[in-house]
Amino acid sequence: MARLSAESEELARTIIPRYPRSRSALIPLLHVAQEQDGWVSPEAIAHIAELLDLTPVEVLGTCSFYGMFKLHPVGRYVVGVCTNISCLLLGGEELLAHCEARLGIKAGATTDDGMFTLEDVECIAACTDAPCLQVNYRYFLNLTHEQADALFDDLRAGRRGDEVPEHGTLTRVRQRIASERWSGHGAEGLPVPPGQVR
Protein backbone atom coordinates (compact mmCIF):
# COMPACT_ATOMS: atom_id res chain seq x y z
CA MET A 1 0.00 0.00 0.00
CA ALA A 2 1.33 3.18 -1.01
CA ARG A 3 1.32 6.80 -1.79
CA LEU A 4 -0.83 7.98 -4.65
CA SER A 5 0.30 6.60 -8.00
CA ALA A 6 1.31 9.01 -10.77
CA GLU A 7 -2.14 8.56 -12.26
CA SER A 8 -3.95 9.21 -8.97
CA GLU A 9 -1.78 12.22 -8.29
CA GLU A 10 -2.57 13.65 -11.69
CA LEU A 11 -6.27 13.20 -10.97
CA ALA A 12 -5.79 14.91 -7.61
CA ARG A 13 -4.10 17.82 -9.32
CA THR A 14 -7.11 18.35 -11.59
CA ILE A 15 -9.47 18.35 -8.59
CA ILE A 16 -7.63 20.78 -6.28
CA PRO A 17 -7.89 23.96 -8.41
CA ARG A 18 -11.65 23.58 -8.73
CA TYR A 19 -11.99 24.87 -5.19
CA PRO A 20 -11.28 28.42 -4.04
CA ARG A 21 -9.36 26.95 -1.08
CA SER A 22 -7.33 23.82 -1.58
CA ARG A 23 -8.37 22.17 1.68
CA SER A 24 -11.87 21.78 0.25
CA ALA A 25 -10.41 19.08 -1.99
CA LEU A 26 -9.54 16.94 1.02
CA ILE A 27 -12.53 14.59 0.99
CA PRO A 28 -12.41 14.11 -2.80
CA LEU A 29 -8.69 13.29 -2.53
CA LEU A 30 -9.33 10.77 0.22
CA HIS A 31 -11.79 9.12 -2.16
CA VAL A 32 -9.08 9.02 -4.82
CA ALA A 33 -6.82 7.23 -2.34
CA GLN A 34 -9.53 4.79 -1.32
CA GLU A 35 -10.33 4.09 -4.96
CA GLN A 36 -6.68 3.26 -5.59
CA ASP A 37 -6.14 0.90 -2.65
CA GLY A 38 -9.60 -0.02 -1.37
CA TRP A 39 -8.74 1.74 1.89
CA VAL A 40 -6.92 4.85 3.06
CA SER A 41 -3.34 4.00 3.99
CA PRO A 42 -1.02 6.12 6.18
CA GLU A 43 1.22 6.65 3.15
CA ALA A 44 -1.69 8.02 1.14
CA ILE A 45 -2.61 10.32 4.02
CA ALA A 46 0.94 11.67 4.10
CA HIS A 47 0.90 12.19 0.34
CA ILE A 48 -2.45 14.03 0.42
CA ALA A 49 -1.10 16.22 3.22
CA GLU A 50 1.82 17.21 0.98
CA LEU A 51 -0.50 17.99 -1.94
CA LEU A 52 -2.74 20.22 0.19
CA ASP A 53 -0.06 21.77 2.37
CA LEU A 54 -1.54 20.22 5.51
CA THR A 55 -0.07 18.00 8.21
CA PRO A 56 -0.86 14.27 8.06
CA VAL A 57 -2.73 14.64 11.33
CA GLU A 58 -5.02 17.28 9.85
CA VAL A 59 -5.81 14.88 7.03
CA LEU A 60 -6.39 12.01 9.45
CA GLY A 61 -8.52 14.25 11.65
CA THR A 62 -10.97 14.87 8.84
CA CYS A 63 -10.71 11.35 7.45
CA SER A 64 -11.56 9.62 10.71
CA PHE A 65 -14.83 11.54 11.07
CA TYR A 66 -16.36 9.89 8.02
CA GLY A 67 -17.57 6.32 8.22
CA MET A 68 -16.96 5.45 4.57
CA PHE A 69 -13.21 5.94 4.84
CA LYS A 70 -11.59 2.71 5.94
CA LEU A 71 -8.33 3.08 7.82
CA HIS A 72 -7.55 -0.62 7.43
CA PRO A 73 -8.03 -3.02 4.53
CA VAL A 74 -11.58 -4.32 4.04
CA GLY A 75 -13.19 -6.88 1.77
CA ARG A 76 -13.42 -6.50 -1.97
CA TYR A 77 -17.17 -6.11 -1.45
CA VAL A 78 -18.51 -4.07 1.44
CA VAL A 79 -22.08 -5.17 2.09
CA GLY A 80 -24.18 -2.71 4.05
CA VAL A 81 -27.55 -3.98 5.26
CA CYS A 82 -29.94 -1.26 6.42
CA THR A 83 -31.62 -1.91 9.75
CA ASN A 84 -33.02 1.57 10.28
CA ILE A 85 -36.68 2.25 10.94
CA SER A 86 -38.38 1.63 7.58
CA CYS A 87 -36.27 -1.48 7.01
CA LEU A 88 -36.68 -2.62 10.62
CA LEU A 89 -40.44 -2.64 10.01
CA LEU A 90 -40.04 -4.88 6.96
CA GLY A 91 -37.37 -7.40 7.84
CA GLY A 92 -34.07 -5.51 7.79
CA GLU A 93 -32.81 -7.17 10.96
CA GLU A 94 -33.78 -10.58 9.65
CA LEU A 95 -31.96 -9.85 6.39
CA LEU A 96 -28.84 -8.86 8.30
CA ALA A 97 -29.03 -12.02 10.42
CA HIS A 98 -29.39 -14.06 7.24
CA CYS A 99 -26.35 -12.39 5.67
CA GLU A 100 -24.35 -13.04 8.83
CA ALA A 101 -25.25 -16.72 8.68
CA ARG A 102 -24.64 -17.02 4.95
CA LEU A 103 -21.26 -15.27 5.02
CA GLY A 104 -20.29 -16.82 8.35
CA ILE A 105 -19.31 -13.51 9.92
CA LYS A 106 -20.83 -10.96 12.26
CA ALA A 107 -21.60 -7.43 11.11
CA GLY A 108 -18.36 -5.46 11.25
CA ALA A 109 -16.17 -8.40 10.20
CA THR A 110 -14.49 -9.50 6.96
CA THR A 111 -14.54 -13.02 5.55
CA ASP A 112 -11.24 -14.92 5.73
CA ASP A 113 -10.87 -14.89 1.96
CA GLY A 114 -11.09 -11.09 1.96
CA MET A 115 -14.16 -11.16 -0.29
CA PHE A 116 -16.82 -9.60 1.92
CA THR A 117 -17.03 -7.09 4.73
CA LEU A 118 -20.48 -7.01 6.30
CA GLU A 119 -21.89 -3.87 7.91
CA ASP A 120 -25.07 -3.02 9.81
CA VAL A 121 -25.79 0.42 8.33
CA GLU A 122 -28.06 3.37 8.89
CA CYS A 123 -30.73 4.48 6.40
CA ILE A 124 -29.43 4.40 2.82
CA ALA A 125 -32.32 6.39 1.35
CA ALA A 126 -34.14 3.44 -0.17
CA CYS A 127 -36.79 3.23 2.55
CA THR A 128 -39.67 2.66 0.13
CA ASP A 129 -37.88 -0.47 -1.15
CA ALA A 130 -37.22 -2.18 2.18
CA PRO A 131 -35.52 -4.41 3.02
CA CYS A 132 -32.46 -3.39 1.10
CA LEU A 133 -28.69 -3.43 1.08
CA GLN A 134 -25.80 -1.89 -0.76
CA VAL A 135 -22.70 -3.60 -2.12
CA ASN A 136 -19.93 -1.06 -2.57
CA TYR A 137 -22.69 1.57 -2.53
CA ARG A 138 -24.71 -0.03 -5.34
CA TYR A 139 -28.34 -0.71 -4.40
CA PHE A 140 -30.12 -4.05 -4.14
CA LEU A 141 -33.73 -3.40 -3.28
CA ASN A 142 -36.72 -5.33 -1.94
CA LEU A 143 -34.38 -8.21 -1.33
CA THR A 144 -35.44 -11.72 -0.35
CA HIS A 145 -33.03 -13.98 1.49
CA GLU A 146 -32.75 -16.14 -1.63
CA GLN A 147 -31.86 -13.11 -3.74
CA ALA A 148 -29.20 -12.15 -1.23
CA ASP A 149 -27.71 -15.66 -1.46
CA ALA A 150 -27.67 -15.49 -5.25
CA LEU A 151 -26.07 -12.07 -5.13
CA PHE A 152 -23.24 -13.27 -2.90
CA ASP A 153 -22.70 -16.32 -5.11
CA ASP A 154 -22.51 -14.11 -8.17
CA LEU A 155 -20.08 -11.70 -6.56
CA ARG A 156 -17.87 -14.53 -5.36
CA ALA A 157 -17.84 -15.98 -8.86
CA GLY A 158 -17.04 -12.58 -10.36
CA ARG A 159 -20.32 -12.42 -12.31
CA ARG A 160 -21.40 -8.92 -11.28
CA GLY A 161 -18.21 -7.00 -12.04
CA ASP A 162 -20.00 -4.59 -14.40
CA GLU A 163 -22.56 -3.64 -11.82
CA VAL A 164 -20.36 -3.56 -8.74
CA PRO A 165 -16.78 -2.31 -9.02
CA GLU A 166 -14.27 -3.12 -6.29
CA HIS A 167 -14.52 -1.33 -2.98
CA GLY A 168 -13.29 2.25 -3.16
CA THR A 169 -14.73 3.12 -6.55
CA LEU A 170 -17.80 5.32 -6.24
CA THR A 171 -18.70 7.24 -9.38
CA ARG A 172 -17.15 5.70 -12.47
CA VAL A 173 -17.77 8.93 -14.35
CA ARG A 174 -15.45 11.82 -13.56
CA GLN A 175 -16.39 15.43 -13.87
CA ARG A 176 -14.40 16.91 -16.76
CA ILE A 177 -14.20 20.62 -17.35
CA ALA A 178 -12.46 21.75 -20.52
CA SER A 179 -10.20 24.67 -19.71
CA GLU A 180 -11.92 26.93 -22.25
CA ARG A 181 -15.26 26.26 -20.54
CA TRP A 182 -13.95 26.93 -17.01
CA SER A 183 -15.03 30.36 -15.84
CA GLY A 184 -12.59 30.55 -12.93
CA HIS A 185 -14.51 31.21 -9.72
CA GLY A 186 -16.55 34.22 -10.18
CA ALA A 187 -19.51 35.44 -12.11
CA GLU A 188 -18.76 38.87 -10.71
CA GLY A 189 -15.09 38.56 -11.48
CA LEU A 190 -14.38 39.18 -7.82
CA PRO A 191 -11.39 37.40 -6.32
CA VAL A 192 -11.70 35.15 -3.31
CA PRO A 193 -10.35 37.12 -0.37
CA PRO A 194 -6.95 35.90 0.79
CA GLY A 195 -6.29 34.19 4.10
CA GLN A 196 -7.39 30.95 5.65
CA VAL A 197 -10.70 30.58 7.43
CA ARG A 198 -9.00 29.22 10.47
Partner 1 sequence: MAVSNAAPIISTRFAADDGHTLAGYEASRGYTALRKALGMGPDAVLEEVKAANLQGRGGAGFPAGAKWGFLPKDVFPRYFVVNGDESEPGTCKDRPLMEHDPHQLLEGLLISCFAVRAAQAFVYVRGEMALAQERLATALNEAYAAGYVGRDIMGSGWSIDVVLHWGAGAYIVGEETALIESLEGQRGMPRLKPPYFPAAKGLYLQPTVVNNVETLSNIPWIVLQGGAAFAALGTEKAAGTRLFALSGHVRRPGVYEVEMGTTTFRDLVEAPVYGGGIRHGNGLKAFIPGGASAPWLYPEQLDLALDASVVGPAGSMLGSGAVIVMDDTTCAVRAAWRLVKFFAHESCGKCTPCREGGAWLEKILRRIIDGHGREEDIELLLDVGDNISPGPFPHPPLDGQPGVPFPFKQTTICPLGPSTVSPIHSSILRFRDEYLIHIKEGGCRHD
Cβ closest to ligand FES, residue 15 vs residue 130: 130
Question: Could you tell me which stretch among 2-10, 98-106, 136-144, 146-154 binds partner 1 (CB under 8 A)?
Answer: 136-144
Check binding of 134 to partner 1 (CB under 8 A). yes
Check binding of 172 to partner 1 (CB under 8 A). yes
Give phi and psi for 75, each to the nearest 5.
Answer: -65, 165
59 close to 45: Cβ distance less than 8 angstroms: yes
Q: How far is the CB of 104 from partner 1 (least distance, A)?
A: 25
Check binding of 155 to partner 1 (CB under 8 A). no
The CA distance from 16 to 52, in Å, is 8
Three-state SS at 67: coil
* Nearest by Cα to 121 from 146, 85, 175: 85
Interaction site with ligand FES (CB under 6 A)? 82, 84-87, 123-127, 130, 132
Check binding of 118 to partner 1 (CB under 8 A). no
**What is the distance, to the nearest Å, from the Cα of residue 116 to the centroid of all Cα atoms in its chain?**
15
Check binding of 81 to partner 1 (CB under 8 A). no
Query: By rule CB under 8 A, what string of x and - marks binding of each residue 19-48 to partner 1?
Result: xxx-xxxxxx-xx-----------------
Three-state SS at 129: helix
The CA distance from 103 to 135, in Å, is 14
The CA distance from 178 to 151, in Å, is 40
Q: How far is the CB of 153 from ligand FES (least distance, A)?
A: 24
Give phi and psi for 164, each to the nearest 5.
Answer: -125, 100
Binding residues for partner 1 (CB under 8 A): 18-21, 23-28, 30-31, 52, 61-62, 65-69, 80, 83-86, 88-90, 122-130, 134, 136-139, 170-178, 180-188, 190-193, 197
